[in-house]
Chains A and B, each alone.
Chain A
Amino acid sequence: MAAAELAPSPPSGTAIARAPREGTTSWPLVDRIGYWLCWTVGIGLCLVALAIVLFMLVKGISYLRIGLLVHSPAPSQIQSQSGGFLDPIEGTLIVALIGTVIAVPVGVAIATWLSEYRRPAGLARAVESAIEITAGAPSVVLALFGLLIFAQGFLGFLSQRAATGAVYGRSFFAAGVVMAGLALPLIVSSPRAGLAQLPNHLREASYALGRTRATTIRRVLLPAIRPDISTGTVLGIGRIIGDTAIIRILLGLTLTTQPVGQVPVLGLLRGTGSTLTSYIYENSPAGEGLSPQKAYAAAFVLLAIVLALNGLVTWTTNRGPRWTR
C-alpha cells in the first residue's frame, strides 16, 4: 500500500487512551522523600545561580557607564574622579593571552603524548600525578612559587630591578606564565578525553595507508579533536581570568598598566598592571574600599565574560566529527 493511502489517524469517534504520566503516589514513602529532596536541592541551586546573576545584573548595570570601560583608573579618594577600568580590562586580556599562548601548545602536546605514546610508562604516570597536583594546588601556592622563581637574579630581564639590584619578580610575563600552569590541567584533560573517544580503527586506517604515528596524530587525530581543544582552551581562559591570587602576588598592586622602558611589547610584558579581579578586590570593601560601585560594575563585566565563555564551551562540545566505534 502506498504511503498516501495510509489513514493519518484513527477514525473520529474511536476511543483513544493516552498513556498516563507516571505518578509518585504508588511509590514507597522513602522513594518519594528522596525524589522531593532532589527537587528541592535542584531548585535551590537554580535560585542561588539566579540570585548571583540578578544581583550582579542590577548592581552592575546601575553603576556601569560607558565611560568606565574607556577610561584608565585615576588615583583619587573621590569615587567620581577615580576614573574607569580600561586598564584592568586590558590587563585581563593580556594575562589570558599569555597564559593561553603558553598553555595550549604545551597542554595539547602533553595530552597527545599521554594518550598516544605513554612511553616510558613510569614517566607517563609521573606526569599524570604532576598534572593532578597542579590542578589541586591553590593558586596562592602557585603564585608564591612563581614569585620565588621570577625573583631570581638571572631572570631580572623578565620583570624589573630595584635600585639595589633586587629583582622585583612581578610582571605581566610572570603572571602569564604561572597562569599557564594554572590552566594547564584543564587544557590537558579535554583533548585527552577527546583522543580517548576516537575509535582505534581511525588510527589504524591511517597506519594502513603507510602513514607514521606522528603524521597520523598531526593530520588525522588532532583535527578530529578540534572541538575538544577549543573546549579545553575556553575552560582554561575562564580559569585564568577568574583568578585573583596570582595577579595580586605576581602582577603588583598598581591599578594602571605600567610598562617598563620604551620597547613596545617587551616593555609591557616586563611591566605591571591590574586585571578585573584585582580591580574588584582593590575597590571592594575588602580592599581599599574606595569605590565599591565601580567594583560592582567591574564584577558585572567579569561575570558577563565568564558566562559568555561558558556559552562558548556548550557550543564547542558535541560539535565535530563522530565515528562509530
Chain B
Amino acid sequence: MPPPVRRIAVDRDPYVAPERPLGNGHATPAVNATRLRATRAPAALVRERMRVESVWLAYGENWVVRDVSLTVRQGEVLAMIGASGSGKTTLLRSLNRLTEITDGAARSGRITLDGTDIHELEVNQLRRHVTMVFQQPNPFPMSIFDNVAYALAERPGRGGRRRRRTPAIERAVSDALHRAGLYDEVAGDLDRSAMRLSGGQQQRLCIARALAAEPEVLLLDEPCSALDPISTATIEELIVSLRESVAIVIVTHNLQQAFRVADHVAFMHLGELVEYGTSEQVFDRPAMQRTRDYISGAFG
C-alpha cells in the first residue's frame, strides 16, 4: 500500500471563504510586528481629503474593482492590503487617474478630492494634487536637484523647461529633500546624477519629488518591495512622520508593513472591499472570516 499523499486543494483557488461575520472579541491572529506610530494624530489634524463612492473599475470587459467606497484622510495612513489581483493597485491608480493611460480602462462611481469630482479637474492639475511613488525607484536621468525641481509648479505654457535656479526654487528643493529625510545625505552635492544614489536613497528621492509638488494626497504603490530591510524601515518611519502634512495611501503586500504604519486598513479580495476600518479593528478584531484568514496567512 502506498502511503497516503497529502494534497493541496487546488479547486479552492481562487480562495473563497464563507462570508459569515465573526463574533467580536476573537483571539488576535498574530501579525508579528510593532506599530511604529505611538499614538494617533491629534483629531484636530485629521481631515477628510478624498472620498471614493461606489467605484467600479474595468480594463476592457474585466471589472477589477467592484463597488468600493472608502475615505482618505489627512493625518492618517491608509493601507490597502490584499492578494495579487485584488484590485488594490488599480484602485490606487484611479485616485490620480493614472488608470486612464491604459487603453480600454472604464469606470463608474465617483471619486472626490476636497469635495470636487476628480474627473472635473484638469488631469495634470489633479496629478499635482495627488502624486505617486512607484514600486521600483525611478529617478529621472538628471541631477538630484533637477529631479526634485522637475516637480515644482511653474507658470503654465512653460511646461518643464530647464529653468534658472532662483532662491525660491532652491528653497523648495531643499524643503522637499528635508521632508523626505534625504537632505543630510545628499546636501554636499545636489548636482550629482540621481542614478548614482543607492536604491533606498533613490526611493526617498522619488518621495521628495512627489512632495515637491505640494500634494494633498501621496500615493505609494508598494514603495519598499524593491528595498532592503534597513531602507524599508527608514521609509516606513518617513511615512508615519509625513501623515500629518499629507494624506497617505499605501498599497502593500507586506502585512507587517501595513500593521506598522497604517491607521486605517482596507482589505481587498478579487476586486471587492472585504473589510475597511481602523488598523485595530482589521488586525485585532477582524469582522470577516476572509480577512482573518488572509492576515493569519491562510492564503495570499
Q: Which of A199, A207, A323 contacts B127 (CB 8 A)?
A: A207
A153-189 Cβ-contact flags toward B at 8 Å (1 or 0)? 0000000000000000000000000000000000000
Q: In the complex, what residue of chain B is closest to A214 when comparing beta carbons?
A: B159
B219: chain A residues at CB < 8 Å are 208
Given A209-B213, A210-B124, verify A219-B160 contact (CB < 8 Å): yes
A220 touches B136 (CB 8 A): no
| Contact residues, B67-116 vs A (CB, 8 A) | 96, 98, 101
A223–B160 Cα distance when bound, in Å, is 14
Given A204-B101, A207-B101, A219-B150, verify A212-B138 contact (CB < 8 Å): no
A207: chain B residues at CB < 8 Å are 98, 101, 127
A249–B7 Cα distance when bound, in Å, is 77
B141 touches A320 (CB 8 A): yes
B159 touches A209 (CB 8 A): no
Given A210-B124, A211-B150, verify A321-B141 contact (CB < 8 Å): yes
A201: chain B residues at CB < 8 Å are 134-136, 138
- Contact-residue size bin, chain B (C-beta under 8 Å from the other chain): 20 to 34
A223: chain B residues at CB < 8 Å are 140-142
A226–B219 Cα distance when bound, in Å, is 30
B128: chain A residues at CB < 8 Å are 209-210
How many Å from the CB of B227 to the closest CB on chain A? Answer: 11
A208–B134 Cα distance when bound, in Å, is 10
B41 within 8 A of A: no
B101: chain A residues at CB < 8 Å are 204, 207
How many Å from the CB of B91 to the closest CB on chain A? Answer: 15
Given A215-B159, A215-B160, A219-B140, verify A209-B135 contact (CB < 8 Å): no
A324 within 8 A of B: yes
B141 touches A199 (CB 8 A): no
How many Å from the CB of A222 to the closest CB on chain B? Answer: 10
Given A219-B150, A324-B226, verify A208-B140 contact (CB < 8 Å): no
A215–B138 Cα distance when bound, in Å, is 17
Q: In the complex, what residue of chain A is closest to B134 when comparing beta carbons?
A: A201
A324 touches B127 (CB 8 A): no
A204 touches B135 (CB 8 A): no
B249 within 8 A of A: no
B98: chain A residues at CB < 8 Å are 204, 207-208
How many Å from the CB of A59 to the closest CB on chain B? Answer: 45
B193: chain A residues at CB < 8 Å are 321
- Contact-residue size bin, chain A (C-beta under 8 Å from the other chain): 20 to 34
A219–B132 Cα distance when bound, in Å, is 19
A202 within 8 A of B: yes
B210 within 8 A of A: yes
B119-134 Cβ-contact flags toward A at 8 Å (1 or 0)? 0000011111001101
B208-233 Cβ-contact flags toward A at 8 Å (1 or 0)? 01100100000100000010000000
A208 touches B96 (CB 8 A): yes
A218–B141 Cα distance when bound, in Å, is 12
B288: chain A residues at CB < 8 Å are none
B141 touches A211 (CB 8 A): no
Q: In the complex, what residue of chain A is closest to B96 when comparing beta carbons?
A: A208
B138 touches A202 (CB 8 A): yes
CB within 8 Å of A: which residues of B?
96, 98, 101, 124-128, 131-132, 134-138, 140-142, 150-151, 159-160, 162, 193, 195, 206, 209-210, 213, 219, 226
- The 28 listed contacts between A and B (C-beta, < 8 Å) are A199-B138, A201-B134, A201-B135, A202-B138, A204-B98, A205-B132, A205-B134, A205-B140, A205-B209, A209-B127, A209-B131, A209-B150, A209-B209, A209-B210, A210-B125, A210-B126, A210-B127, A210-B128, A211-B150, A215-B159, A215-B160, A218-B160, A219-B140, A220-B141, A223-B140, A321-B141, A323-B137, A324-B226
3 tightest CB-CB pairs across the interface, nearest first?
A215-B160, A210-B128, A208-B132
Knowing that A206-B140, A210-B128 are A-B contacts, what are 17 other residue pairs whose CB atoms are under 8 Å apart, sorted by A's residue number?
A: A199-B136, A199-B138, A202-B138, A202-B140, A204-B98, A204-B101, A206-B150, A207-B101, A208-B96, A208-B127, A209-B127, A209-B128, A209-B151, A209-B210, A215-B159, A321-B193, A322-B195
